[in-house]
Chain A
Amino acid sequence: MKDSPGMHVHDLAYRHPGAAVGIHVPEFELLPGKPTALVGPSGSGKTTLLRLLTGLLQPESGALSAGELEIHRSQPATLREWRLQKVGLIFQDFALLPYLSAKENAELPSRFLRTLAPSTSARATALADRLGLTDHWTKPASILSQGERQRVAIARALAHEPDFVFADEPTASLDPKRRDAALDLLLTDAVDRNICLLVITHDMERLDGFANVLRMEDFQS
C-alpha cells in the first residue's frame, strides 16, 4: 500500500464567462483511501469542478494543492506531467482513440510514461478480466459498444496505478451488474492502494460505498 498525498481545496472560485451561477468551494479535502462521491443535478457544475481539480481549468481564485504541487499556481506543462504520472481520468464520453485496441487504449498513459513494463500490461489485463473485457481486449475501440468503451476507459484510468482517480459518471452506460462490478473495482482499488478517488455519480443507491459524499448544491455561488 502506497502513502498517497491527499488533495486540499480552499476558497476555490470559478464562473464560466457569462454564466449566472458559479462554483465556490470554501473548503474540501480529498483523502487517500477515502473514496468521495460528488452528486448534484445535471448542469450544476460537477464536470467543471472535476476539471478544476485536475488542472484542466484555471480557477479565478482560491488555492488547490495535491501534496507538494500547488495546482492553481502551476504551469500547464507541470500539470500535464502531474496528470500523466499521478492522475487517472475517466471522461463522461470515454475519449478513447478509435484506431487503438481496447488493450492499447488502456496502456496508453503508461506508454508515454515509461517503456511499457510487463507488470503494467499484466495489471491492465487483470483489470480487463475484472471488468469483463477479456473477449474484447484486442478489438479496436471503434467497434466496441458504449458499455464496453466505458469499461475500457475505467481500465485506462487505473492501469498505470495513479495516486488520484477522477471519474465523471463512470457507470452511466452500464447495466446494473456491470455497474456494481465497475464501482466495486474503483472503490476497492482506492482503498487497497490508499489513493484518492472522486466519482461524479447520479446513482444514489450506491452512495453508501463512499466515505464522503459532496453535494454540488453546497458549492454554488
Chain B
Amino acid sequence: MKAVSAAFFLAWRYVLRHGWQSLLLSLALGMVLALPLAVRLLVRAAETEMRARALSTPALLGRPGSAADLLLGALYFSQLDLATLPFGEVATLRETDLGQPIPLHLHFKAQKAPIIGTTLDYFDFRHLRIAEGRPLTRLGDCVIGARIAKQQGLHPGDSLFSSPDQLFDMAGTYPLKMHVRGILAETGTPDDDAIFVDLKTVWVIEGHAHGHDDLQTAPDATVLKREDGNVVGNAAVRMFQEITDANIASFHLHGDTAELPISAILFAPNDEKAATLLAGRFVNGKGTLQFIRPVEELDRLLKTLFRFESLALGTLALTGVAALGIATLVFALSFRMRRREFATLEDIGIPCISLTLVKTIEILLIGTGALILATLILLTVQTFATHLILLTLR
C-alpha cells in the first residue's frame, strides 16, 4: 500500500509540475474520445428536433423540384430560395374544403434572420403565443421570435430593416423599415429565430406593392406623363421605405393578388381522410404543385444523414487510433527522456514494481483527465445541442 501511495505521490507531483503539457495531452485524448460521441449526440438531437417539427406539419405544398429543399425551407427556414407559386393556389386549396392552407413567403432576411411572410393562421397552427406586445395588425408590422429578440435586444416599439436582395442593385428591392409589434414566446423551434410579417408586407419588400408621393400634387420633375387624368411618375418619385399613419393610405398593390408569389403552403387537413384525398390529387406528380408529407420526406433525409454519420464515425475512429498511437509515443518518449530520473530512483533502491506503478499512474492520471474533459465536452454539446442544430438549420 505504501508503494502505491508513494508512486501516486510521485506521479501526481510530476503531472502537476508539467500542468500545461499534461492538460494539452488530456485535452487531445479527451477530444478524441468525445468527438464520435458528440457526433452521435448531435445527430440524435437533430433527428429529435427535426422530427418534432415534421410531425407537427401534416402536409406541405410547393413548386415541383427538390422535396428536401421544400421541407428545409418551409419547416426550418434554412432554404429561402424556393421556386415560387402563385398566391391563387391557396384559394384553390381552400375551395377543396379538405383543410386549412397557410401560405408562406420565404425569401427575405433582416440581417441574418429570415423574414417569413404569412397569415395569422400560421400562429394558431404552430401554437405561437405573443409573450410581449401584440400580434400583427397593420402593414409594415412584424412580430419576432424570442431568440432573435434576445440576441438583437429588440422590444415592441423598436424597428428593423429588411436586407436588400443585392446591395448595389439600385433598381432592385429597397429595404423596408418594419415596426416590431410583438415578441413571441420561446418555443425551441426555428420560429424563435424568425421575423414574421403579413404577406402584404413581404410583397411591399419585394416591390409588388408600394407607397409613394401623391402624383396628382407632385412637382413636374417627378412626372413622366399626364394623360386622360392618369399620371405616370418617373424614377424621381419618392418611394416610402417606412409605413406610417401618414402614408399607409398611399400603399397599393400592383397586379392581381392571385398571381403574387409565395414559396410554399402548409396544409392542415381536417382529418386523415382529407390528407389522403389531397395526397391523391398530386400522386402522379405531373401537376403544377408538389405535395409532400414532411415526416416521410424527413425520414428519407435522415437516412442520408445516418450514412454521413457512419462515414464521420469511421473517420473519427481512425483519427482516434492515430491519436492514441501518438499519445503512446508521447509517453514512451517522455519516459525515455526521464531515464536518468528513473535510474536515480533505482539507485536509491525504489523497487521496479514501484517505478512501473509511477509510470502507470501517470498514464492513468492523464487518462482520467481525458475522461473528465470528454465528459465536459459531451455535457456542453448536450446542453447546446438543440441550439447548435437550430443554428445549423438556419
Contacts and interface: CB of A to CB of B under 8 A. Distances in A.
A111 B281 CA distance: 86
Contact of B13 (A85, A87, A99): A99
Contact of B347 (A91, A100, A114): A91
A56 interface: yes
Interface stretch (A75-83, A131-139, A171-179, A199-207): A75-83
Contact of A112 (B6, B341, B352): B6
Given A95-B340, A97-B344, A112 B13 contact: no
Contacts of B235: none
A11 B347 CA distance: 24
B239 interface: no
B285 interface: no
Interface residues on A, range: 20 to 34
A152 B357 CA distance: 25
A113 to B, nearest CB: 8
Contacts of B354: 112
B9 interface: yes
Contacts of A56: 347
A82 B340 CA distance: 21
B349 interface: yes
Interface string A38-64: 000000000000000010100000000
Contacts of B286: none
Q: How large is the interface on B (under 10, 10 to 19, 20 to 34, 35 or more residues)?
A: 20 to 34
B131 interface: no
Interface in B328-380: 340-341, 344-352, 354
A109 interface: yes
Contacts of B350: 80, 84, 112
Nearest to B341: A97
Nearest to B17: A99
A158 to B, nearest CB: 13
A91 B10 CA distance: 20
A83 B347 contact: yes
Contacts of A114: 2
Contacts of A111: 2, 6, 9
Contacts of A54: 347
B87 to A, nearest CB: 75
A108 interface: yes
Contacts of B14: 99
A99 B9 CA distance: 11
A5 interface: no
A99 B346 CA distance: 17
B3 interface: yes
A42 B248 CA distance: 105
B18 interface: yes
Interface of A: 54, 56, 77, 79-85, 87, 89, 91, 95, 97-100, 104, 108-109, 111-115, 140
Given A81-B349, A99-B16, 5 more contacts: A77-B351, A79-B349, A80-B351, A91-B344, A113-B2
28 contacts: A54-B347, A79-B349, A80-B349, A80-B350, A80-B352, A81-B351, A83-B347, A83-B349, A84-B349, A84-B350, A85-B349, A89-B347, A91-B347, A95-B347, A97-B10, A97-B341, A99-B16, A99-B17, A99-B18, A100-B13, A109-B348, A111-B6, A112-B2, A112-B3, A112-B351, A114-B2, A115-B5, A140-B17
